[in-house]
Amino acid sequence: MELEPLQDKILICVDCDEEFVFTIGAQHYFLERGIVEEPKRCKSCYTTLKKQKRQEKKDVKEKSNNNSRRRTTTSYRHYNSSNTRGNMK
């Protein structure tokens, strides 16, 4: 089976509907890493998407940290000294 030589491909971005070029170099990069699908977004839209995802992840983490701090300050239990193991006979 003989492989076709790679050529630049013109693709359409799913976000902005603009054309972008999937270059031979980018195709080699994808092949070296085992990525079989062609990109769906132009570089600009891909970068924007990554920034949004990072921000969402950061927001979720901050919210989780805030909730954790709130719980730890109210979750302490105070035991009567007579209920400790050392006083058991």
The pLDDT value recorded for residue 1 is: 45
Give the pLDDT score at 61: 83
The answer to the question of residue 27 being in a domain is yes
Task: Tell me which residue range forms the domain holding 3.
Answer: 1-67
What pLDDT shows up at residue 60? 87
Q: What is the CATH number of the domain that holds 53?
A: 3.30.160
Number of domains in the chain: 1
Calculate the alpha carbon distances from 12 to 3, 26, 41, 49 in Å.
25, 16, 7, 16
- Residue 74: inside a domain: no
Q: What is the pLDDT of residue 21?
A: 98
Per-residue 3-state assignment (H helix, E strand, C coil) for 28-71: HHHHHCCCCCCCCCCHHHHHHHHHHHHHHHHHHHHHHHHHHHHH
Sign for the pseudo-dihedral over CA of 47, 16, 42, 30:
positive
Task: Specify if 80 maps to a domain.
Answer: no
Residue 89 lies in a domain: no
Q: What pLDDT is recorded for position 45?
A: 97
Does residue 75 sit within a domain? no
In a domain? residue 35: yes
d(C-alpha 8, C-alpha 50), whole Å: 24
Looking at residue 84, its pLDDT comes to: 57
Can you give the pLDDT of all 89 residues of the chain as single tens digits? 446 789 999 999 999 999 999 999 999 999 999 999 999 999 999 999 999 999 999 888 887 877 665 555 555 566 665 555 655 54
**Could you tell me if residue 76 is inside a domain?**
no
Whether residue 78 is contained in a domain is answered as: no
Looking at residue 78, its pLDDT comes to: 60
